[in-house]
Amino acid sequence: MRAIVSGVVVAVGACGAALAGAFEPTPCGDLMCHPPGKVTVRTAHGDVEVDRTGVPYLENGAIVLLPGDEFDVDLEFVAGEAQARVTLSATGEGTGRRGIHLKMEQMSGKVDTLLTLQNNSGEPIKYSATMRVENGRMLPTSSCPVLSGLSAFEHWPHPILRLTLANFRKLEGENVSMVCD
């Protein structure tokens, strides 16, 4: 199920974060990484622990999300560049003017994964996504366009151990497609 939802309050259902806690980036080389620890992910075959120690929040311009993550990034659209520049602030809180708010979680009591992406960038955007699934494979997945000032809720009926979002770009022109692909 994929949906683009407008409005301030949306009932999505009971969701539970796989990991509660504040945004606490840890330096690892030149990157900011998830703090040491593990997150538990429910699967059809039982719980799996995902080590988040040393996993960067941003890697080669892409955003890396693990279950339980919730943080903000800024998008900078530069004239002549096809993709936005993605930056992470030290607090994980975007400016609110040109960023996106991200939350990845498992739905309460289920193996399903839910991504919430709130677009505050001032531009309609599209991005590419890949997911690491239970067997360890990285697979491409569809993503939905998100108009400025709105949120997208993307749902997968299975656990995702890692979600990578990349290639953020503005949607331009009169015939902007709102198809999830």
Tens digits of residue pLDDT in 94-138:
544 568 999 999 999 999 999 999 999 889 999 999 999 999 999
The residue ranking higher by pLDDT, 13 or 48, is 48
Instruction: Report, as an integer, the average pLDDT of 84-101.
Output: 69
Distance of alpha carbon 165 from alpha carbon 117, whole angstroms: 11
Confidence of residue 175 (pLDDT cuts 50, 70, 90): low
* pLDDT (0 to 100) of residue 143: 92
* pLDDT (0 to 100) of residue 176: 74
Confidence of residue 3 (pLDDT cuts 50, 70, 90): very low
Query: Looking at the domain that runs over 2-7+63-170, which CATH code has it been given?
Result: 2.60.40
The residue ranking higher by pLDDT, 165 or 92, is 165
* pLDDT (0 to 100) of residue 64: 96
Q: Which residue, 159, 121, 114, 127, is CA-closest to 11?
A: 114
Instruction: Report, as an integer, the average pLDDT of 18-39.
Output: 75
Give the domain ranges of the chain.
2-7+63-170
Q: Tell me how long the chain is.
A: 181
Instruction: Report, as an integer, the average pLDDT of 58-80.
Output: 91
Distance of alpha carbon 14 from alpha carbon 38, whole angstroms: 23
pTM of the complete model: 0.83
Task: Say whether pLDDT at 26 is over 90.
Answer: no
Give CA angle at 174 (172, 180), nearest 5°: 65
Q: Give the E-state strand segments of the chain in sequence order.
A: 2-5, 15-16, 26-28, 31-33, 38-43, 46-51, 58-59, 62-65, 70-76, 85-87, 99-107, 113-120, 125-132, 138-141, 151-156, 162-170
